[in-house]
């Protein structure tokens, strides 16, 4: 069971004096301040133009990035293929005797 203090704190009760006056003054001050604010007639057009400009820039950066990655992948692939030895391998040397069609390689006996 918890113990609760029965004594009230100073100036926290619902019957504080001056509470309603301060809140009302604050509301009036904020209302007067908000009434003096006039929206810019071109605000939406300006914000939309900035948004479209950023969107175009994002797309352009993405297109350039894709092009660079594709070009690098192609160049690396061509470089790797160019590094292959130019002399023919054992399979294509042509030094073996022709085999009969349908015969298989000899298998070792167990």
Tens-digit pLDDT string for the chain (110 aa): 555 555 555 555 555 555 679 999 999 999 989 888 888 889 999 999 999 999 999 999 999 999 999 999 999 999 998 887 776 555 655 555 555 555 667 777 77
d(CA 80, CA 90): 21
Listed by start position, the domains of the chain span 44-82
Alpha helices in the chain (DSSP H): 19-35, 43-82
């Amino acid at each position: 069971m918890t113990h609760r203090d029965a004594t009230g704190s100073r100036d926290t009760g619902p019957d504080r004096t001056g509470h309603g006056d301060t809140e009302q003054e604050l509301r009036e001050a904020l209302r007067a301040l908000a009434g003096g604010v006039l929206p810019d007639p071109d605000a939406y057009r300006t914000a939309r133009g900035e948004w479209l400009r950023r969107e175009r820039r994002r797309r352009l950066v993405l297109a350039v990035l894709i092009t660079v990655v594709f070009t690098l992948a192609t160049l690396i692939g061509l470089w790797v293929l160019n590094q292959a030895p130019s002399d023919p391998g054992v399979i294509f040397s042509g030094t073996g005797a022709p085999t009969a069609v349908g015969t298989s390689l000899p298998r070792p006996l167990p």
